[in-house]
Amino acid sequence: MAVIHANSNAEFMKEVLNATGRVLVDFWAEWCGPCRMMAPVLEEFDKTYPDIKVVKVNVDEVSEPAISYRIDSIPALLLFENGTVKAKTVGAMPLGQLAKRLGL
């Protein structure tokens, strides 16, 4: 599965909140260096955990979900299961550390 970009509140609702199973959401922004550093890690995550959908949300373009989930630092990575947040971590990190912080 490829990394999905949710470019609207409707897409966030469809891809994350209404999704069955687990979804890793990356709240990021273009100007954020650590966010850009996470891009290849998320591509690797997508390949390593094919059963977990990866969705990126640009907080400058789609702010409502970031406000709803009180995202005040980016990159913020939230693991949802059936529309409910199960784990959260903030900051750039390698794949192994990300998986550990998410309880995978």
Q: Which residues are catalytic?
A: 32, 35
CA distances from 39 to 17, 18, 19, 90 (A): 22, 24, 22, 14
Whose CA is closest to 71, among 53, 89, 86, 84? Answer: 89
Distance, in Å, from the CA atom of 24 to the CA atom of 55, rounded to the nearest integer, reads: 6
**Three-state SS at 96:** helix
18's tokens: 């209404």
